[in-house]
Amino acid sequence: MRKKLVAGNWKMHGSLADNAALLAAIKPALAGIEAAVCVPFPYLAQVQAALAGSSLSWGAQNLSEQAKGAFTGEVSSAMLLDFGCTYVIVGHSERRSLYGESDELVAKKYLAAQAAGLTPILCVGESLDERESGVTEQVVARQLDAVIGMAGVASLAKAVVAYEPVWAIGTGKTASPEQAQAVHAFIRGKIATLDAGVAEGLTIQYGGSVKAANAAELMAQPDIDGGLIGGASLIADEFVAICRAAAQ
Ligand code: 13P
């Protein structure tokens, strides 16, 4: 069976005090359940200290495509490894739209993550305009092809894909389980045309306004293998309930 994984994306939220309280609440509640939190860079050391030895993993929300050098403000894959990261999100729609990350740059970041032994969580998804124009599949295919073209389909055996429709992120508008399942099945089917084994084993998360109240029906879909959780990952009870729903 393929692995289910819920990951929290804290985005640019948190403080030492708030994080300590959140981690102290989720760690015992999720004992034995594999889940992850992707936190702002300055808090990686705090999260590493709090979660080391538990069933929870941690990671970052971005990384540089460069290995090292004069790149002011950037953070490398090796630095993330220094803090025990397992995962790193690449190509989140906020990075694509607000910071101009192209498909090509996202693919380079994905490669940099894998070269260091980190597991990239590759985000794909369409905007509202694109959905309404009927090009959801083309957009998701283009985003996947950029990575497959540069890293090869076999690389997906060591990656997680997150389908995050942009119109569902932070809006309270979740894709219906059927809408999400349809795109997840498309993603798996597309990859299966290249490598059936990789497609079958690939963890595909859904992200976009996932909450405790809608997690179970999303996670029950055959091609939804967990979630990438924004706002609800900052609320201990919500995050714990979502992780438990996925683990069932
Ligand atoms: P929300 O769960 O806040 O909608 O955010 C989803 C997301 O962008 C996770 O990466």
Catalytic residue selected from 101, 126, 130, 164: 164
**Distance of alpha carbon 232 from alpha carbon 239, whole angstroms:** 6
Question: Is 217 labeled as catalytic in the residue annotation?
Answer: no
- The total number of residues shown for the chain amounts to 248
- Provide the pLDDT for residue 1: 75
Give 69 Cα–ligand 1 centroid separation in angstroms: 32
Total domain count for the chain? 1
Q: How far is CA 162 from the centre of its chain?
A: 5
Q: Say yes or no to pLDDT of 120 above 80.
A: yes
Q: What is the pLDDT of residues 56-104, one digit of tens each?
A: 999 999 999 999 999 999 999 999 999 999 999 999 999 999 999 999 9
Q: What is the pLDDT of residues 199-244, one digit of tens each?
A: 999 999 999 999 999 999 999 999 999 999 999 999 999 999 999 9
Q: Give the tokens for residue 74.
A: 């950037």
> Strand runs (DSSP E) across 39-159, as ranges?
56-60, 87-90, 119-124
Question: What is this structure's pTM?
Answer: 0.98
Q: What is the pLDDT of residues 2-25, one digit of tens each?
A: 999 999 999 999 999 999 999 999
Read off the amino acid at residue 18.
D
Q: Domain of 84: which CATH number?
A: 3.20.20.70
Q: Which domain holds residue 128?
A: 5-247
210 C-beta closer than 6 A to ligand 1 = yes
